Structure 1
Amino acid sequence: MEEYPSILVIDDEPDNFDVIDTLLDNTGYQLNYASNGEKALELLESFLPDLILLDVMMPNMSGIEFCQIFKGNPLWQHIPVIMVTALTNKEDLSQCLTAGADDFISKPVNSLELRARVRSMLRIKQQYDALQDTLRLREDLSRMVVHDLRNPLSSIVLAAEMIQLPNFSPERLQHKVNQILIATQQLESLIDTLLLMAKIESGKMLLNLVEIDLCGLCTRVVKDLSAIAGQKKLELVLNLPESGHYINVDVALFRRILENLLSNAMKFSPSGSKILLTVNYPAPKRVKIQVIDSGPGVDANLRQSIFQRYEIGTLMKDTSQIGLGLAFCKMAVEAHGGQIHVEENYPQGAIFTIDLITDLSES
């Protein structure tokens, strides 16, 4: 449901509020009213508007005094204030701006000017809100990325420390070496994903398209991830056509897509289950790749948003979820001119499907 901007009108004359209400009719703004500065400050403890229209000449607390208090509060100072004043002296107007007002409009108020100044200030407020959302998002992302980087690093450090213990058997040594290798792969995968996403998003990444055997690439990816799958008691299964095809893709980027989809499936698949990677060619110059699991699946209302950055589907205890893997897959698949979507795997699980239209040559 769309939320309309809220405006707080502070004026000791109720008739002036009625004028403002009339001049802003049919704009969709939510207008609120306070008859003096003291009541406005009380209201602001529980309600923050997107904009304040403030009368200058008010008894007890003038608009300038209110503005000084209002702009002196760090929680409120980002909210724009338009002074509504009958003053025309430049010194008086300068005093309004010095008090912290962002703009002013002279009485009698003109509808066209009022609407233009309100739109301008609300646009600035929306830009500020968007910037704050981005900063919060980056802060959250930084915390999640640090957490995800720390996990494999901790595994590497712990395994390395245990190797140094006396009387460490060759069997246990090999086991710990394998743990270090797996943790290193996880660390490398996360770093590569972050770097590739930054390049794609900035438009600085040019695809290095080469002709490859798609089935061969899928086979190599599954082989490389089999150790991690085995550690989680999962089985990666390939379902490939008898005759393969060569397609033009950026090998490094496309390999990362497959790795991310399989890694995502491994995160959510129950122990002892199978994860299926299939390739087929449903039509000329068209290839379909699917990763099929039997995990919790993706709710119908999340099947679009789950491909957005930092969005996650089902929260899983003790499972790393920073919402980057699927966002990267979408960006990389679309960079190849393809599409990716997710659907239900009846009776349980998810099917992630990549559809590509490409020049194919039979191998």
Structure 2
Amino acid sequence: MIDALTRHELLNWLNQIIGYSEMLIEEADGSGQENLIGDLGKITCAAQQMLVQLQTPLTCSPSCHSAINTNDSHKQTASPDQVAHHFNPVDTECNGRGSLLVVDDNPANQEILSRRLENQGYQIAMAGSGVEALEKLTSNRFDLVLLDVMMPDMGGYEVLQRMKADTVLRNIPVIMISACSDMGQVILCIEAGAEDYLPKPFNSTLLKARISATLEKKRLCEQERRYASQAMQTEAALERHRALTQAVAGVAHEINTPLGIVKTGLSIIRNRLSLPNIQALFRENSETEALLQDMLESSGLTIKNVDIAHRLIENFKKIAVDQLLEHQDTVDLPALLKDTVDLFKISARQARLDIRLDASGILKAREWHGYPGYLTQIMMNFLQNIERYAYPNGIGGQVDIAVSDRVLPAKAPQFVLTVRDYGAGINPEHIGKIFDPFFTTGRGKGGTGLGLAIVNNMVTVAMQGAVSVESEPGFGTCFTLCFPKNLT
């Protein structure tokens, strides 16, 4: 009866014999030394026969025997020719690349495994003990750890426990390296969070498949975490937007109160100045008569501009409330677009933008039943992007906004809205990403990468439409929105 420690050592030696023989077969086949392949195959075959004898039920624990019966590579012994054919040079263009840490206290095992993985295109680092492995893990970035179960001082199970207890290391996948007699430890490691295990000696096909599968699973998990993080950030940004919109609506209401008082006071003054007895007092000489005329004109002009300010604030308040309540309404589309452009007038003047609105393409009804607040937000995002990216640093330029209607076969009537600039344009490599959340080339210009992502979501989901973009560097950009005249 062979004890567990002796069996472990024998398996390590067999792993080295088989591993080195297989690598020599690969090198001989790739260097034109085919005459060596037959003899090397015999060595490998003999080692595998010894492996089968070592792993018979008479010398293995029940758990070990179960593992052997589920491993096809150990059920029968291959011929030398089959061995030589099976271990052709590994395709270095394998799926994916990554940085792997190989942890094994046996230098020969380290070398065999590392050389195989380097041939597959991976970057390899090695550690000869559990302590060294933890030191390297804390100071370097690895995509996967291949961890031997049985090591002196600190075994693989303890290393795994410490990794899973660490908030940084816990997400690094671990594949246990095990001799058959270590099966009980392997089960403990799997229960503790290891992804998989590889038996010694290493089967090159199994090695490649399990590492590729583990790295792919890691990639998908990281992608899922990124998407979850992006969703949380987007929701937080939308919540801030709702809070700001609510505050704007409140401020607009408060501003209207003093504007109303100003208008009332000016109207009283103007009415008093228009009374015949008051006007008679000012007509005593030419100077006082001119003063009366100036006061009448000034008060009239002030009242007119107060009315304009009141109307703008009311529009701003309505837009804010519409956005806050996600309110559907029937509106005159060109009028809504004009109000939006008016809201942007101050920024447009500072950025020297010449914004032109053309609604002559609407041949039928101008009314749109939808979300006015959403469309206003979309237009504001477009105009802000044009100010920031198309004509940066106040260089100024023309912006053409055009709206038309169309009827397509078997489809409801639609509006087509285009926003075109003639500025810097978009780099072709960025076109496919501009609607992605958090993609921006303007972090230093105040860009968050959310503006066009929100636009895309509003158009496709809320407005049941579509948005597209065409651009050429140096010649400008055109965004096109198509959406139904009446939302269902």
Note whether the superposition's TM-score is higher than 0.5: yes
SS in 2 for 1:59: coil
SS in 2 for 1:306: coil
Distance 1:243 1:69 in 2: 69
Partner residue of 1:53?
A: 146
Task: Return the match for 1:314 from 442, 457, 465.
Answer: 442
Unaligned runs of 5+ in 1: 197-215, 359-363
Pick 1 or 2: higher relative contact order, CA cutoff 8 A, min separation 6.
Answer: 1
Partner residue of 2:319?
A: 185
Superposition map of 1:204-215 within 5 A? none
Task: Return the match for 2:457 from 328, 331, 346.
Answer: 328
Distance 2:130 2:115 in 1: 23
Give deviations 1:146-170, integer Å, cap 9, x for gaps. 3322322222233445566799434
Partner residue of 1:222?
A: 337
Superposition map of 1:1-363 within 5 A? 4-24=97-117, 27-88=120-181, 90-161=183-254, 168-170=261-263, 175=309, 178-179=312-313, 181-186=315-320, 188-189=322-323, 192=326, 219-230=334-345, 232-233=347-348, 236-239=355-358, 244=363, 252=370, 259=376, 262-269=379-386, 275-278=399-402, 290-293=418-421, 297-315=425-443, 322-323=450-451, 324-328=453-457, 331=460, 340-344=468-472, 350-353=477-480
Distance 1:256 1:109 in 2: 64
Report the Cα offset of residue 8 of structure 1: 1.2
For the Cα contact (< 8 Å) 2:315–2:339, is it kept in 1? Answer: no
For the Cα contact (< 8 Å) 1:222–1:236, is it kept in 2? Answer: no
Distance 1:183 1:273, change over 3 A: farther
Q: Which amino acid aligns with 1:179?
A: I
Distance 2:253 2:361 in 1: 44
Structure whose alpha-carbon radius of gyration is higher: 2
Distance 1:346 1:76, change over 3 A: closer
SS in 2 for 1:88: helix
For the Cα contact (< 8 Å) 1:8–1:53, is it kept in 2? Answer: yes
Report the Cα offset of residue 279 of structure 1: 5.7
For the Cα contact (< 8 Å) 2:149–2:176, is it kept in 1? Answer: yes
Select between 69-78 and 314-323 the one with higher mean Cα deviation. 314-323
Shift >6 Å, 4+ stretches = 164-167, 171-174, 255-258
Give deviations 1:6-46, integer Å, cap 9, x for gaps. 22111122321332234446543332222222222121122
Report the Cα offset of residue 68 of structure 1: 1.5
Report the Cα offset of residue 137 of structure 1: 0.8
Number of aligned residue pairs: 330
- The structure that is strand-richer by fraction is 1
SS in 2 for 1:48: coil
Q: Which amino acid aligns with 1:223?
A: K
Q: Which amino acid aligns with 2:382?
A: A
Report the Cα offset of residue 276 of structure 1: 1.3
CA RMSD of aligned residues (A): 4.5
SS in 2 for 1:69: helix
Give deviations 1:276-313, integer Å, cap 9, x for gaps. 123689xx99x985312366654454333112233234
Report the Cα offset of residue 190 of structure 1: 7.6
SS in 1 for 2:139: coil
Q: Which amino acid aligns with 1:265?
A: F
Report the Cα offset of residue 345 of structure 1: 8.2
Distance 2:373 2:309 in 1: 26
For the Cα contact (< 8 Å) 1:51–1:122, is it kept in 2? Answer: yes
Give deviations 1:168-201, integer Å, cap 9, x for gaps. 4347798467436414414634875xx99xxxxx
Unaligned runs of 5+ in 2: 1-94, 264-302, 388-393, 410-414
Distance 1:354 1:65, change over 3 A: same
Q: TM-score, normalised by structure 1?
A: 0.70
For the Cα contact (< 8 Å) 1:5–1:50, is it kept in 2? Answer: yes
SS in 1 for 2:434: helix
Distance 1:268 1:94, change over 3 A: closer
SS in 2 for 1:66: helix
Distance 1:355 1:242 in 2: 14
Report the Cα offset of residue 354 of structure 1: 5.8
Partner residue of 1:200?
A: none
For the Cα contact (< 8 Å) 1:344–1:351, is it kept in 2? Answer: no
Q: Which amino acid aligns with 1:238?
A: L
Distance 2:378 2:257 in 1: 36
Give percent identity, aligned residues only: 23
SS in 2 for 1:292: strand
Distance 1:67 1:321 in 2: 39
Q: Which amino acid aligns with 1:342?
A: E
SS in 2 for 1:67: helix
For the Cα contact (< 8 Å) 2:470–2:479, is it kept in 1? Answer: yes
Distance 1:329 1:314, change over 3 A: farther
Report the Cα offset of residue 74 of structure 1: 1.6
For the Cα contact (< 8 Å) 2:423–2:477, is it kept in 1? Answer: yes
Distance 1:94 1:154 in 2: 59
Give deviations 1:67-86, integer Å, cap 9, x for gaps. 12111112111211111011
For the Cα contact (< 8 Å) 1:306–1:312, is it kept in 2? Answer: yes
For the Cα contact (< 8 Å) 1:218–1:258, is it kept in 2? Answer: no
Distance 1:117 1:269, change over 3 A: closer
For the Cα contact (< 8 Å) 1:54–1:84, is it kept in 2? Answer: yes
